Amino acid sequence: MSYNTESNQLVVRFSHQDLSSRSDSDLLVVLHGYGADETDLLPLTAELPDTFTVAAVRAPIWLTNGMNGYAWFPITEELSSPPESVRSSLEQLDAWIQSVADGFRTVSILGFSQGMAMATSMLRMRPEQYAAVVGLSGFVLDASNEPLLAELLSHDEELATKQVPVFWGRDLQDPIIPPQMAKEAGMWLDQHVDLTQDTYQGVGHGVHPQEISDLTAFLVRHVANRR
């Protein structure tokens, strides 16, 4: 059973109702992609042991283009976004995570597509915060030419020394994420994290059943088993 709460204007669906009894559990923050909502990725967490508390967060922007879903920030056909909107969502999500983080043993984060951009950005903002990150069929924000984002994502050198474990899963034939964007994500990940990378055929911009098993094993190995 899942439970919805509203915190800092974000809607969050938790896997457990009584969070006061979950202080020894590992929090997994789950971030959906563009046009989805907080229920979209819950099946990906079904195989996790009960030592995890899942918090699926709804993105703050309601889409009015007929998609009936939510977004972390607006995007153009070229996947570019207004930096002020991106920064606003990053700061809002970070504030919520900081408000709950002390209630759990560790914090990890999983994001799909646009949610992967958010997840890796959370890691870049606070390299010491996260036990592990899972990124699926997504990308990494390029802050090099955006002062508003560069200021926020300014800890890449520190992150490289931490070598936080990151799982990156995708289909090489993903029709949504441009190959160059995926290439740039791979280069950044190689340089800044302890990367586990797997590819899956035939899912396009989706998640393969084997991928669910692989990301579960990754989280168990790097989080649950490190007690």
The model's pLDDT over 21-31, given as tens digits with 9 standing for 90+, comes to 999 999 999 99
Mean pLDDT over the full length of the chain: 93
pLDDT of residue 1: 32
Structure tokens at 129: 């915060």
Tell me the C-alpha distance between 13 and 35, whole Å. 17
CATH value at residue 146: 3.40.50.1820
List strands edge to edge, sheet with 194-199.
3-7, 10-14, 52-57, 26-31, 106-112, 133-136, 165-170, 194-199
Does residue 10 have a pLDDT over 60? yes
The model's pLDDT over 114-130, given as tens digits with 9 standing for 90+, comes to 999 999 999 999 999 99
Number of domains in the chain: 1
Does residue 5 have a pLDDT over 50? no
Does residue 3 have a pLDDT over 50? no
| Mean pLDDT of the 140-158 span | 92
Task: Record the pTM.
Answer: 0.94
The model's pLDDT over 77-96, given as tens digits with 9 standing for 90+, comes to 666 788 999 999 999 999 99
Query: What residues are paired with 14 via a beta bridge?
Result: 3, 55
Domain that holds residue 170: 3-224
